Amino acid sequence: VSYYQRVAKHIVTATQAGPSVRIMTDYVRLNDEHEKGRSRAVEEADTLEFYMYAADNGDVDAQVALGLLYLQGGLGLARDPE
Confidence of residue 36 (pLDDT cuts 50, 70, 90): low
Note the pLDDT tens digit of each residue in 49-77.
Answer: 888 888 898 888 888 888 888 888 887 77
Q: How many CB atoms lie within 10 A of CB 29?
A: 9
pLDDT score of 22: 58
Whether residue 40 contacts residue 74, with contact meaning beta carbons closer than 8 Å, is answered with: no
Q: What's the whole-model pTM score?
A: 0.52
